[in-house]
Structure 1
């Protein structure tokens, strides 16, 4: 692969008139993501242009539109767009809408040349659109934007999604703003765009250079992601004849997952293969750690990306999880999703993929142990290195590697020492661990029911039964006269309940009877089993609270099949 330093790179600032001329025939390669500008970005562009055109503008009558990067041979107009697709597409929509709103026929035909190169037999020129989007989008774009008068009757948004919806939405917005300007205002805008607006145009000569430029641009903070770079890399390895098919399959997966989750998928797949903390950026490390990506681009899509994306989608589909593996497994996956990290996902995805391929029949047991292990690591606040090392060991257990050996941890199981550590953490001041308290209470709620309840309330808050501050002369002061004992017990799991409404600063210090019958149960309903159990308690003394703490710990121990370890821990804790 030719070194970037030896490539001829040309860069120059050019007017929009120079850019939308016979000097360039833009095409968006298949590895590029779809058109994605939101209406807010278009509004900002139009507002900036309007401000720049104002007589006393701070821009002194000039406006810089940013940069575009092209793969282009010197002397040829053919230009593949590496960066700048969003600007070029939006400017094409702007020119198209101006053309379609132009009353004078001769002027309209003149403005057509910024959208389409006119045929000229004397110069050997054929009629050709200035900008060709990706093959998947171009037909729609030409029909509804580039064709003369197309923007006067744009289709409805109903049934459209992705780039097609963005094109229609933004073209409609542009047309509306242009109508407000009137014919004279639109003519002034055209003159300003062509003569006073500039782009920095960067040109490199080969498609091979595109991926290198992608990497450089990403390092400079432009709007590219690691998966954009990986896509360019994969398509380069696949070759031009396979580019379109692989690109479409890639984008189908990206659209199904969404851009952020699609990037997450690559992180999880890399972990499944690498099984240790990454030491290189995703775009660099992924091809090294996932050999099939380098060696067989077709097979990477069919054997890695598609099956793992199916597993990823399944991991968030509660109905399908219940259908395939039962309600308890689905509830445990919901419980996992409440944690403040997703380091547990690679083992789950590997397990689900193995199941889909008929290589694993114990998904319920694996998910049970994975959830238990994840809450152990969550509760003891294990750092990212400890979590990744442990989940790597789980991956080795699920799928032994021929090149690496497992560590000597317990894998999915908890040792007796780990169980003791687990219960000591559970018996501590849980409320003070802000990221822990609500997921743990919801997990305890799950352990307190038959698993049929769901808790998708818009608001869920955590409240103390005995308040954090005890007022002198109150019932709470009578029950908790010892400040040290109060401090020891007040933040424990047994003293906490869940509410489906926001906290009331005045209500938190109510005496017990008033608090449980009003604040804990608005409208005389109680959404949570834990809260209902507290409402049924006649008193809430230190003795009551300690008994409640033992009850909830026993409940969690039973739910996680750690009763024997709990009993042994309790004997030591009480001695």
Structure 2
């Protein structure tokens, strides 16, 4: 057995032992921020109260994993931060709600360690959060009377917002209990609640076991593990600075997007479908991660994180690369996968000064490729392989041949793309709305905007009743089937679909259902229907041709494909 694992200590401890001079808890800088929200904090409090009321002799809180040398109090928390922090908030609130000053002073001991020169103990708080949150936690939670004046969470962000929200919520819940109940609760917590403390002497050993011992705590993400790896290599001189820079990027992106970013960075280097876990594959494939830690943060993480943030700022994209590039990025963000992101991030990372026009062209052409793969429902392996080929075109790997198919679409692919657009698009559930949004945006000149409430409606109803006007306009069932789900028959609405209105006669449907109060629609697709005198197969054929030609123009398909629609040209209809 390796030496560091043979020194593992594991034992049950009551909370009065946990919050004693035996432990000096410290959250290492590589740990993620405090992430529990009100629901999780409430669940913990409810569990305590129910266990107390049920007369349970013991309440088990799960396990915490510490880096701790035998017989020394310093305890760096690898797993258990969420529970220790929330317990400290609860104990601090119970202290501050105590009306008897003497008892209130006594209860401070669970949060604060007085100096004891005889025992060699220094004055300190029992739990020290990460450096970034430490002073805030002491001011608003750990200091005497701190929870009597909690800050407004809405002016905070990240872990400090979570701390404030949970403290406000828990104080509200605990205030509902009378003082006798609160006294019984704190006694139950201190005397009857247990944690299993797993103490190991090295960070390496701690990381090996924390994943199998998580109980109530939130699992660490792959990026938390990578962060620990990086900071351990950085050494104590650089650890604080690099941890703060890492956290700045994570705060700007958000926790989930930080994990996504690392997945995209791995793809930029690996250029293949991931087959092993991110925390294992990232060091294996991302060569810059394994070298100098500071260089990785400054030359890889920070600039690529900045690129990802840039992509979510439409105004900045427009300013740097122009209106068409901004439209392309906005359109890319609507599709149901993010396989297009690694090529974009790599291109932005590798850009040279004065490269704006080339990047704009790249973004516009990548939108076309991504939508071709999206509309034709290419599988994940095909998408990743093609996006990897795109990266190989502008950032070739040593020993690799130039890819046969990259950013450009050949004539057969353009025809396949147009055929898919011309078909029953509504039946491709995830595809239809993003394509219609891109089409409507093109028809509007870029001024249209969309939200989640926008819905798609059929002009010719999906189900035609026998005696309706629609049965007269489209007497042939095969013809109805041909047109029902195609682009020409689809419009946007800003209201919920009214199934009873779907079979109204065309004129009534236009006026009472499709039009707003002023008789118009904010969507060019819908406005085109309002301007139509009638809705017939002939009109649909002309409208379909007009709409497909517009998409062919947007994605530069018309010239090389030789085809823009399956219907013969019969003159133009309004969109």
Relative to the length of structure 1, the TM-score reads 0.93
Q: Residue 103 and residue 528 in structure 1: after superposition, are their counterparts in 2 closer, same or farther (change >3 A)?
A: closer
Q: Residue 154 and residue 473 in structure 1: after superposition, are their counterparts in 2 closer, same or farther (change >3 A)?
A: closer
Q: Which residue of 2 aligns with 1:117?
A: 113
Cα deviation, 1:24-83, whole Å, max 9, x if unaligned, reads 1111100111222222222222222111111xx1x6332222221111111211111001
| Distance in 2 separating the partners of 1:86 and 1:127 | 24
Q: Which residue of 2 aligns with 1:226?
A: 222
| Distance in 1 separating the partners of 2:252 and 2:314 | 17
Q: Which residue of 2 aligns with 1:425?
A: 420
| Distance in 2 separating the partners of 1:461 and 1:105 | 61
Query: Which range moves more in the overlay, 348-357 or 311-320?
Result: 348-357
Cα deviation, 1:151-186, whole Å, max 9, x if unaligned, reads 333344463222223223333333333333333222
SS of residue matched to 2:22? coil
SS of residue matched to 2:62? strand
Q: Which residue of 1 aligns with 2:322?
A: 326
| Distance in 2 separating the partners of 1:4 and 1:211 | 15
Is 1:463 matched with 2:457?
yes
Q: Which residue of 1 aligns with 2:572?
A: none
Q: Residue 220 and residue 117 in structure 1: after superposition, are their counterparts in 2 closer, same or farther (change >3 A)?
A: closer
Alpha-carbon offset, residue 568 of structure 1: 4.2
Q: Which runs of 5+ in 1 are unaligned?
A: none
Q: Check whether the contact 2:442–2:550 (CA below 8 A) recurs between aligned residues.
A: yes
Q: Residue 460 and residue 324 in structure 1: after superposition, are their counterparts in 2 closer, same or farther (change >3 A)?
A: same
| Distance in 1 separating the partners of 2:532 and 2:186 | 76
Coordinate RMSD, CA, aligned: 2.4
Q: Which runs of 5+ in 2 are unaligned?
A: 570-575
SS of residue matched to 2:388? helix
Q: Which residue of 2 aligns with 1:543?
A: 538
| Distance in 1 separating the partners of 2:515 and 2:173 | 53
Query: Which range moves more in the overlay, 13-22 or 473-482?
Result: 473-482
Match of 1:206 among 199, 202, 205: 202
| Distance in 2 separating the partners of 1:239 and 1:160 | 31
Alpha-carbon offset, residue 129 of structure 1: 2.1
Q: Which residue of 1 aligns with 2:78?
A: 82
Q: Which residue of 2 aligns with 1:40?
A: 39
Q: Check whether the contact 2:67–2:77 (CA below 8 A) recurs between aligned residues.
A: yes
How many residue pairs align between the two structures? 568
Match of 1:250 among 246, 250, 258: 246
| Distance in 1 separating the partners of 2:215 and 2:418 | 46
Q: Check whether the contact 1:354–1:360 (CA below 8 A) recurs between aligned residues.
A: no
| Distance in 1 separating the partners of 2:154 and 2:478 | 64
Match of 1:440 among 435, 438, 452: 435
Q: Which residue of 1 aligns with 2:573?
A: none
| Distance in 2 separating the partners of 1:184 and 1:25 | 31
| Distance in 1 separating the partners of 2:213 and 2:58 | 25
Cα deviation, 1:372-415, whole Å, max 9, x if unaligned, reads 11110011000100000000011111222225344311x11100
Alignment of 1:59-70 (within 5 A): 60-70=56-66
Query: Which range moves more in the overlay, 513-522 or 352-361?
Result: 352-361
Q: Which residue of 2 aligns with 1:389?
A: 385
Relative to the length of structure 2, the TM-score reads 0.93
Query: Which range moves more in the overlay, 384-393 or 231-240?
Result: 231-240
